[in-house]
C-alpha cells in the first residue's frame, strides 16, 4: 500500500473541515479559537507535505513561521477573551453582539 502526497492532503482537508464546522457551530469563544488552531494546523500539514514532495526547505520554514504567528495570535486572542469576559461575564459568542447593526 503506497502512501501518496494526496493522502496527506486529504487528511489536511478533513482536519480543516472539522475545524471549520467547529468554528461555526461552537459558542464558546475559546473552543472556537481552538478550532481555528486546528485549521491552522491543517494548513501546516499541507505545507509540510508539499515541502516533502518538492524536497526543499521553504515549506517547513513557513510552518515554522506559522506556528510562531499562531502562538502570538493565541496569546492576543486569549487576552481579548479575558478582557471581554471581564466586561460581559461571558465568553459565549452569541452574547458578544455589541457590533450588531
Partner 1 sequence: MDDNTVATLAYVILFAPVVAAILITLFTRKSKGISAFLSVGSVVTGGILSVILLFDQLAKGPGTPPVISQFEWAAARDSAIGDIVLNIGVQVDFISILMSTIVGVVGSCIFVYALGYMKGDEGWSRFFAKFAFFAFSMLGITYATNFVQIFIFWELVGVSSYLLIGYFYQKPSATDAGKKAFMTNRIGDFGMTLGILLLFFAVRDVFGAVDGFSFVELQRIFTDEASRTLLFDAMGWKAGLGAFLIFVGAMGKSAQFPLHVWLPDAMEGPTPVSALMHAATMVAAGVYMIVRCYWLFAWAESAMIAIAWIGGITALMAATIAVVQNDIKKILAYSTLSQLGYMVMACGMWGAGAGMFHLATHAFFKALLFMGAGSVIHACHTNDIWEMGGLAKKMKHTTWTFIAGTLALAGIFPLAGFWSKDEILSASHHIAPLYWIGVGVAFLTAFYMGRCVFTAFFGKYRGDGHPHESPAVMWVPLAILAIFAIFGGWVGAPADLNPFGEHGLQSYLLVAYTTVAEGAHQQVINWPTGQGHMAKSLHMNVAVIGTLVAVAGLFVSYLFYGSRKFSAEKAKKMFGPIYTLVSNKYYIDEFYLFLVKKVQQGFANLCSIVEQHIIIGIFVNGLAGGAREAGDKFRKMQTGRVNTYVTMILGGLTLLVFLFVVGKEFWG
Partner 2 sequence: MEPIFHDLLAAGGGHAVAFYACSAVTIAAAILMVMKKNPVASVMWLVLSFIGLAGIYVTLQSYFIAVIQVLVYAGAIMVLFLFVIMLLNLRREDIAKMELPKVPFAGVIAAILFFVSVFLVIKASTPAFEKPVDALLGEPALAGDSVRAIGIPLFSQWLLPFEITSVLLLAAIVGAVALTKKKL
Nearer to partner 2, 72 or 101 (CB): 72
CA distance 80 to 3: 42
Given partner 1, partner 2, none, residue 31, with its beta carbon under 5 to 8 Å by kind, binds partner 2
Minimum distance of partner 2 from residue 52's CB (angstroms): 5
CB 42 within 8 A of CB 87: no
**Per-residue mark of binding to partner 1, 17-36 (x: CB under 8 A):** ---x--xxx-x-x--x----
Count CA within 13 A, CB hemisphere, residue 60. Answer: 7
Q: Which of residues 33-92 bind partner 1 (CB under 8 A)?
A: none
Count CA within 13 A, CB hemisphere, residue 92. Answer: 4
The cell for 90 is 461571558
Q: Is 6 in the site for partner 1 (CB under 8 A)?
A: no
Minimum distance of partner 2 from residue 27's CB (angstroms): 6
Question: For cell 487528511, what's the residue?
Answer: 11
Residues that bind partner 1 (CB under 8 A): 20, 23-25, 27, 29, 32, 93-94, 96-101
Amino acid at each position: 500500500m503506497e502512501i501518496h502526497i494526496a493522502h496527506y492532503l486529504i487528511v489536511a482537508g478533513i482536519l480543516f473541515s472539522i475545524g471549520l464546522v467547529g468554528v461555526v457551530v461552537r459558542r464558546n469563544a475559546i473552543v472556537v479559537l481552538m478550532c481555528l488552531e486546528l485549521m491552522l494546523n491543517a494548513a501546516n500539514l499541507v505545507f509540510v507535505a508539499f515541502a516533502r514532495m518538492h524536497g526543499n526547505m521553504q515549506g517547513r520554514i513557513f510552518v515554522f513561521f506559522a506556528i510562531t504567528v499562531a502562538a502570538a495570535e493565541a496569546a492576543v486572542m486569549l487576552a481579548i477573551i479575558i478582557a471581554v469576559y471581564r466586561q460581559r461575564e461571558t465568553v459565549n459568542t452569541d452574547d458578544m453582539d455589541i457590533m450588531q447593526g
